[in-house]
């Protein structure tokens, strides 16, 4: 039997490089039974995912949840859209921001809380320009070199 993890944390590592975050929210996800079991096995990816509004409801699109290993023929679709659960005030604010200012909503982190429920940390974000990405690379390289020098100095 596949080992279910106690706490699942699946990150979107490209998001920090590609986007500048303005605001973050934690949302619940509407899942089928086999989907939550697959997430608890750690078989999910949010790297290509994004969020969009349909009829004033927020959905995550392109999130991949692999099929559950012990599922029968009536398993879930790995790439289906999944509804996100936020309170009405947050949904209206997000929808207004996305419509008016051309921002996007991206998933940052998929995790299970202490009650075993799957939650998604999403961010209202603005895409970075090419020069911003180069700046991020420079910062990352300088931090890496500094830590390398510190390590050599301490030894």
Domains and CATH numbers, the chain: 9-128 (2.40.280.10)
- Helix runs in 26-129, H state only: 33-40, 88-101
Q: What burial class does residue 122 get, using C-beta atoms within 10 Å of its C-beta: 0-12 exposed, 13-18 middle, 19+ buried?
A: buried
Which helix (H) or strand (E) segment is 110 a member of? strand 104-112
Cα angle, residue 144 at apex, residues 142 and 146 outer, rounded to 5°: 70
Model's pTM, two decimal places? 0.77
User: What is the rounded (10 degree) CA torsion for 71, 77, 81, 87?
Assistant: -10
Q: What is the pLDDT of residues 8-65, one digit of tens each?
A: 888 888 888 888 889 999 999 998 878 888 888 888 888 888 889 989 899 998 888 8
63/5 Cα distance (integer angstroms) = 20
Cα angle, residue 101 at apex, residues 95 and 107 outer, rounded to 5°: 55
Q: What is the pLDDT of residues 98-140, one digit of tens each?
A: 888 888 999 999 998 888 888 999 999 888 887 777 888 888 8
Q: What pLDDT score does 59 carry?
A: 92
3-state secondary structure 59-70: EEECCEECCCCC
Check: CB of residue 122 under 8 Å from CB of residue 43.
no
């Amino acid at each position: 039997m596949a080992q279910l993890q106690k706490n699942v944390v699946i990150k979107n590592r490209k998001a920090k490089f590609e986007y500048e975050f303005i605001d973050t929210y934690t949302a619940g996800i509407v899942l089928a039974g086999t989907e939550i079991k697959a997430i608890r096995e750690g078989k999910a990816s949010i790297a290509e995912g994004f969020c969009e509004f349909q009829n004033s409801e927020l959905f995550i699109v392109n999130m991949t949840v692999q099929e559950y290993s012990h599922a029968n023929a009536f398993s879930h679709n790995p790439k289906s859209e999944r509804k996100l659960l936020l309170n009405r005030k947050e949904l209206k604010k997000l929808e207004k921001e996305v419509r008016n200012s051309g921002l996007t909503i991206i998933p940052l982190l998929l995790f299970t809380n202490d009650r075993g429920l799957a939650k998604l940390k999403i961010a209202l974000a603005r895409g970075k320009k090419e020069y911003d990405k180069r700046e991020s690379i420079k910062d990352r390289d300088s931090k890496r070199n500094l830590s390398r020098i510190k390590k050599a100095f301490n030894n």
